[in-house]
A and B are shown apart, each in its own frame.
Chain A
């Protein structure tokens, strides 16, 4: 059972006391608006903070401290959830009962996390210039390396083109141009704003009590401003029209990404039907796209759909011979029409529902799974439990799925082709 403790205005701790695991997890997320002005800064901040703090002034010292704590892991946590971006740290660690007798883990780790967040290495009132430049270069590399994964790259390019003014077009990493603009001073100014004004979501799963964790993390509630930053309301994607784009790169296989929109988001009463539709259409191994286009027609190896429920966007991605992409596009649309017409079997519907229900039953099987589910629901304001969503999915019928399919319309197509095409 989750226990919620308001630690201070805007600072909420959610605790799951659970002794089934050998490890615990702790996430600390500062909530910011997802916008062009901040995306790069928010994405860069945790990496700067993990470059050094007062008692561990460089990355190696930090790694040594974590190694002492049985290889505890602390990594940057930057997420996009609807119109919100989060910036912070995610930590996983072994439970004390698995350490040598007398070794403490959570208390020294919580102290260290507070120090990493609150006592960075500063120089003349700004972050250290070499740390900032190093992390900027790293982040730019990471943005540019998106090109290496052609499927993800094609999806990213499609969203950039399709979403236009919507916050969903902004890369959660920030753009290379915005990252390059960051200075040690601007990063430090932003850090203070984040620290003082942002709502904070803290999630803990482990064997300790909520009161213990709240007490260990109390320093995070200090030095807070009276005025909390306002967060934007979540909105559905509302683009109109249709556009298609082709990019040529030296690749062996073509990539196709089709961007659809639907007014149904996670906040809509029809959400469970839309969720089921997305899986029936393109999730798992028995969906329509996989069975009809890959298994029956051998047109591609890799095809599937992804429903971005915070925005009401459905993406279909495939990798195929360049000359087959046009045919695959037709087949993808034909399968959507089949869904609209209710042309799917009871077995297909059941497979889709069972796949979702199984995933929901197992949310609480891993610390990371629980952290992701509950934080996502919380940040979108839906606050559903896996059990509640389970009941909603169970109640979905074929007619509702067909109705959900009718709301889906194609907005954008992005194709990656070879240089000779």
Chain B
């Protein structure tokens, strides 16, 4: 294992790539009881069209999430029980571009790690279990339909993107998941759960070499599968539609504003773009901004207001949202404040303060081991190094923030999604 030290966040990390292609990142934490392990595949809800052995494949919406559920099935033992008997809590999540399986435990770490590597690497799918899962995931879809925050975000993605599959729901729909077959799950598993398409991250009081040994035993050789999800979609910097709204059972009108940004470049330049986007968001509408105080005092925003710079494969955007009685007034105020920053810039003191706060937040984030694991997987599978995300701050100038806001926070790149309260009846 290669030992690396990251001075900006004061973290020592061990890394290696096995002969099977599996990447391993271990962050030893002496003196902590709980150990965390995440095994993530570079396969998310956006990967619906891909080439496998030269053949074009298309799979139904929601299949990555469905696969996440079904991977917990093993032919000869109950995965949840195997973890629970060792005091471990397993779980998993599917995002737009990765699927991650994880557990935390205080004892029997080696055994739990073997179980994780085994069940994620196996893929056991039957017709009966697929049929049974339809009911459970159908309920999950219904539950998500009643969650206004996620619904509003989905609406924003539908508005902003014309061809990028981020506009589709991670869970899929009742109709799309009904098309899923065991064969399709096997195809996706073989194609994307290859060791060279996955990353294992462990944080806790563990021996990095022992983690490596266990992983090498589980994934001894490279898969002969040849599959590729190109993740290339044509998107310009205008939104598909500038506005949408719907009604739901909510207390107050809820909004999400999105501004399209250029996708990140590879390597440190991409991390620099991300740092500029994050600082620009803070400068424009963060709690230290004049705009935040003004909107708060006018009663136009409340505790729920917030946002930031987001990115995933082949896209990036800046989003702002919350509850308000008047989303149009908030939107106009944001555009006005952006015009002012684009014209006048931000002061050197203000920038130094924002950078200092951002670095402080990065350092504090290192104490959240579950989050570190998830971030290492998300950044790592996109080709970035999570532990270097705080490094670009030093080189960012106030002109960079001014230029970003002037270029991005404009009506041409903007879309708005609004959820308004429906009439409620109580009995």
Q: Which residues of A contact B (CB under 8 A)?
A: 20-23, 58-60, 63-64, 66-72, 92-94, 98-99, 130, 134, 137-138, 141-142, 144-150, 246-253, 284-286, 291, 294, 298-302, 319-321, 347, 350-351, 354-355, 357-358, 361-362, 364-367, 419
- Which residue of A68, A92, A150 contacts B356 across the interface (Cβ within 8 Å)? A68
The residue that B424 contacts in the complex, of A130, A134, A249, A361, with Cβ under 8 A, is A249
B10 touches A301 (CB 8 A): no
Scan B128-148; emit 1 where CB is below 8 A from any A CB, else 0: 000011011101101101111
B-side contacts of A147, CB under 8 Å: 249-251
**Pairwise interchain contact A248-B87, C-beta atoms closer than 8 A:** no
Which of the four size classes fits the interface of chain B?
A: 35 or more
CA distance in complex: A300, B59 (Å): 26
- Check B251 against A144 for contact (C-beta < 8 Å): yes
Q: Tell me which residues across on chain B come within 8 A of A250, comparing CB atoms.
A: 247-249, 422-424
Residues of A within 8 A of B10 (CB): 22, 98
Provide a sorted-by-A list of 6 A–B residue pairs whose CB atoms are within 8 angstroms. A23-B367, A59-B293, A98-B363, A141-B323, A148-B254, A246-B427
Q: Are B293 and A362 in contact, CB atoms less than 8 angstroms apart?
A: no
Closest to A70 in B: B360
Of B106, B360, B426, chain A has the most CB atoms within 10 Å of the CB of B360
List 6 other contacts, CB 8 Å, given A286-B80, A365-B32: A23-B367, A63-B287, A138-B303, A141-B251, A145-B304, A365-B369
* In the complex, B407 has a CB within 8 A of chain A: no
Contacts of B32 in A (CB 8 A): 20, 362, 365
A301/B299 in contact, CB under 8 A: no
* Docked complex Cα distance between A302 and B147 (Å): 14
> Which residues of chain B in 282-333 are interfacial with respect to chain A, using CB atoms and an 8 Å cutoff?
286-290, 292-293, 296-297, 299, 302-304, 323
Residue of B33, B356, B427 near A362 (CB, 8 A) is B33
Considering only CB atoms, which chain A residue lies closest to B133 in the complex?
A298
Docked Cα-Cα span, A48 to B75, in Å, equals 58
Given A22-B366, A134-B299, A247-B427, verify A350-B85 contact (CB < 8 Å).
yes
B88's partner among A21, A67, A72, A358 (CB-CB below 8 A) is: A358
**Interfacial chain B residues near A246, Cβ < 8 Å:** 427
Q: Which residues of B contact A (CB under 8 A)?
A: 10, 29-34, 78, 80-81, 83-91, 104-107, 132-133, 135-137, 139-140, 142-143, 145-149, 247-252, 254, 286-290, 292-293, 296-297, 299, 302-304, 323, 353-354, 356-361, 363-364, 366-369, 422-427
Q: In the complex, what's the smallest C-beta–C-beta distance from B1 to chain A, in angstroms?
A: 22
- Asked if A354 and B149 sit within 8 Å, CB to CB, the answer is no
A99→B363 CA distance, assembly (Å): 10
CB-based contact B302/A142 at 8 Å? yes
- Cα distance A130–B80 in the bound complex, in angstroms: 53
Could you tell me if B33 and A361 are in contact, using CB atoms closer than 8 angstroms? Answer: yes
Q: Is the CB of A358 within 8 A of B105?
A: yes
Instruction: Say whether, besides A22-B364, A22-B366, A357 and B87 are in contact (CB < 8 Å).
Output: yes
A23 with B143: CB separation less than 8 A:
no
Q: Is the CB of A319 within 8 A of B363?
A: no
Q: How far is the CB of B420 from chain A (nearest CB, A)?
A: 12
A343 to chain B: closest CB distance in Å?
Answer: 17
Bound form: Cα–Cα A22–B360 in Å: 10
